Amino acid sequence: MKSITSFMKMKTDGDPIAMVTAYDAPTAKAAAKAEMDIILVGDSAGMVVHGYDSTIPVTLDDMVLHSKAVKRGAPSSFIVTDLPFLTYNGDFSETLASVKRLLQETGIQAVKLEGAGRTLSVINKLTESGVPVVGHLGLTPQSVGTIGGYKVQGKTQAAADKLVKDAAAIEENGAFALVLECVPAQLAAYIANLLTIPVIGIGAGVETDGQVLVFHDVVGFSDGYVPSFVKQYAHIQSEIETALMTYVNEVKQSVFPEEQHSFAIDQDILGKLYG
């Protein structure tokens, strides 16, 4: 299994880190087979798997269930799980209990928390307790309500300055990696250069230390909106639809099942049964 030391070395060697989300065993297994460096059990599960229009409704129980499935599918992969909305900005003992469940019950390796501000002290306390933490800045989907939508971050001087400061603070407080989402490429490159920890981008250009994408986006498993920073490497949604339509047609026309899909019984036994 890779470790935070491997990721640090990849950064210094200029070897980009490949990361993808997974939410269940078969997709995690496929990610492991593709030699994904990190698997993220993202709270994007709320949107791509559970059909919510944001990550806000996702619960700790959801993340525990997804993490267990991912761990079974990819037992030797380094797995990071998102702490869901409002599970890490209140009482620290509650945060600790949530993290404890994820690390001990599911066997994942690290947790990801969004934002700086109040999140910084949480990152600090968790890493002090021996919990590997990934930060997440730029577009932080759990703050969609206060950001006012899903849009590129850090475009003004003030916003860019804040992002740089927050990124540095996340490193200082002990995170071993930082995800930067929807940030201008030049700014993301600057931050990746500034920090010693790996910066993993999504919609943040090619000069970060790695890339992360949502599984469903990578394989084209969606019939909805596709963000412009996404590259679909396949279009499995249409393959799935075609397969299902063909199946329905074959059932309706009694074409399926054929003999090879059916079980037979000895003629003798059949004779005795029915005379």
Please give the annotated binding residues for Mg(2+), written as ranges. 43, 82, 114
Active-site position among 181, 207, 250, 259 = 181
C-alpha span between 42 and 107 (Å, rounded): 16
Q: Which of residues 121-180 bind ligand KIV (CB under 6 A)?
A: 179
Check the CA dihedral 136-141-146-149 and report its sign: positive
250 in active site: no
- As measured in angstroms, the least distance from the Cβ of 145 to Na ion is 15
The amino acid at residue 50 is H
Rounded to 10°, the helix 92-100/118-128 angle is 50
Q: How many CB atoms lie within 10 A of CB 16?
A: 18
CA-to-CA dists, residue 149 to 52, 54, 141, 161, 180, angstroms: 15, 10, 8, 21, 17
Q: Is 37 in the site for ligand KIV (CB under 6 A)?
A: no
Check the CA dihedral 145-150-152-155 and report its sign: negative
3-state secondary structure of 10: helix
Q: Which of residues 181-200 bind ligand KIV (CB under 6 A)?
A: 181
- As measured in angstroms, the least distance from the Cβ of 55 to ligand KIV is 6
* x/- track of binding to Na ion for residues 66-105 (CB under 5 A): ----------------x-----------------------
Q: Is 201 in the site for ligand KIV (CB under 6 A)?
A: no
Residue 214 interacts, among Na ion, ligand KIV, none and using kind-specific CB cut-offs from 5 to 8 Å, with ligand KIV
Q: Is 43 in the site for ligand KIV (CB under 6 A)?
A: yes
Residues acting as catalytic residues: 181
| Interacting residues toward ligand KIV by CB under 6 A | 21, 40, 42-44, 82, 179, 181, 202, 212, 214
